[in-house]
Structure 1
Amino acid sequence: MDAPHVPHAPHEDNSFHHHHSHGPQSAHPGHHHLLTVEDLSISFRAYKPDEGFFEASQAETPVIHGLSLSVHEGEILAVVGASGSGKTLLADAILGLFEPNATVHGRIWFDGQPQTAETLAQLRGSRIAFVPQSVESLDPLMRVGAQVEGQARSRAQRQERCERRRQLFARYGLDEGVARLYPHQLSGGMARRILLCCALMARPQLVVADEPTPGLDLPLALKAMEDFRALANQGTGVLLITHDIELALKVADRVAVFKDGTVVEETSVESFANPQLLRHPFTRALWHALPEHDFAAAEGEDHLWR
Structure 2
Amino acid sequence: MSILEVSDLSISFNQYTSGLKQRKLNVVSGLDISISEGEILAIVGASGSGKSLLAHSILGILPSNANVSGTIKYKGEALTAKRQESLRASEIALIPQSVNFLNPLMRVGKQVRSPANDKATIKAQRAAFERLHLSPEVEDMYPFELSGGMARRTLLSTAIVRDAKLIIADEPTPGLDPVVIKEALQSFRDLADEGRSIMLITHDIEAALQIADRIAVFYAGTTLEVASVEDFTGDGERLRHPYSKALWRALPQNDFMPIPGSQPQATDLPSGCLFAPRCAFMIPDCSEVRPDMRDLRNGKVRCLHAT
The TM-score range, normalised by the shorter chain, is 0.7 to 0.9
1:159 to 96, 119, 130: 119
The CA deviation string for residues 243-285 of structure 1, in whole angstroms up to 9 with x for no partner, is: 1111111111100001010110011100112422111110011
Quote the residue 1:177 is aligned against: 137
Name the amino acid aligned to 2:74.
Answer: F
Q: Secondary structure at the match of 2:207?
A: helix
Cα offset for 1:76? Answer: 0.6
Quote the residue 1:43 is aligned against: 12
- Equivalent pair of 2:95/2:159 in contact (CA under 8 Å): yes
1:218 has 2:178 as partner: yes
Q: Secondary structure at the match of 1:100?
A: coil
The CA deviation string for residues 202-260 of structure 1, in whole angstroms up to 9 with x for no partner, is: 11111000011121122211211111011111110000000111111111110000101
Q: Distance in 1 between the 2:78 and 2:59 partners?
A: 14
Q: Secondary structure at the match of 1:35?
A: strand
Name the amino acid aligned to 1:237.
Answer: S
Quote the residue 1:272 is aligned against: 232
When residues 283 and 269 of structure 1 are mapped into structure 2, their CA distance, relative to the original with a 3 A threshold, is same
Matches within 5 A, 1:84-99: 84-99=48-63
Cα offset for 1:125? Answer: 0.8
1:303 to 269, 275, 278: 278
1:121 has 2:90 as partner: no
1:108 has 2:108 as partner: no
Q: Distance in 2 between the 1:230 and 1:116 partners?
A: 30
Quote the residue 2:246 is aligned against: 285
- Equivalent pair of 1:284/1:298 in contact (CA under 8 Å): no
2:100 to 114, 121, 136: 136
- Equivalent pair of 2:38/2:196 in contact (CA under 8 Å): yes
Name the amino acid aligned to 1:230.
Answer: D
Q: Distance in 2 between the 1:219 and 1:97 partners?
A: 33
Quote the residue 1:200 is aligned against: 160
Q: TM-score, normalised by structure 2?
A: 0.82
When residues 104 and 163 of structure 1 are mapped into structure 2, their CA distance, relative to the original with a 3 A threshold, is same
Q: Distance in 2 between the 1:277 and 1:83 partners?
A: 25
Cα offset for 1:116? Answer: 1.4
Q: Secondary structure at the match of 2:232?
A: helix
Name the amino acid aligned to 1:194.
Answer: T
Q: Secondary structure at the match of 2:253?
A: helix
- Equivalent pair of 1:285/1:302 in contact (CA under 8 Å): no
Larger relative contact order (CA 8 Å, sep ≥ 6): 1
- Equivalent pair of 1:210/1:242 in contact (CA under 8 Å): yes
Q: Secondary structure at the match of 1:276?
A: coil
- Equivalent pair of 1:129/1:200 in contact (CA under 8 Å): no
1:250 has 2:210 as partner: yes
2:146 to 186, 208, 219: 186
Name the amino acid aligned to 1:232.
Answer: A
Deviates more, 1:263-272 or 1:197-206: 197-206
Q: Distance in 1 between the 2:161 and 2:279 partners?
A: 42
- Equivalent pair of 1:96/1:118 in contact (CA under 8 Å): no
- Equivalent pair of 2:13/2:65 in contact (CA under 8 Å): yes
Cα offset for 1:297? Answer: 5.7
- Equivalent pair of 1:285/1:304 in contact (CA under 8 Å): no
Name the amino acid aligned to 2:36.
Answer: H
Unaligned runs of 5+ in 1: 1-27
Name the amino acid aligned to 1:66.
Answer: G
1:61 has 2:22 as partner: no
- Equivalent pair of 2:48/2:220 in contact (CA under 8 Å): no
Q: Distance in 1 between the 2:141 and 2:43 partners?
A: 33
- Equivalent pair of 1:97/1:121 in contact (CA under 8 Å): no
Q: Distance in 1 between the 2:90 and 2:10 partners?
A: 26
Q: Secondary structure at the match of 1:82?
A: coil
RMSD of Structure 2 on Structure 1 (CA): 1.8
Q: TM-score, normalised by structure 1?
A: 0.83
Unaligned runs of 5+ in 2: 261-275, 281-307
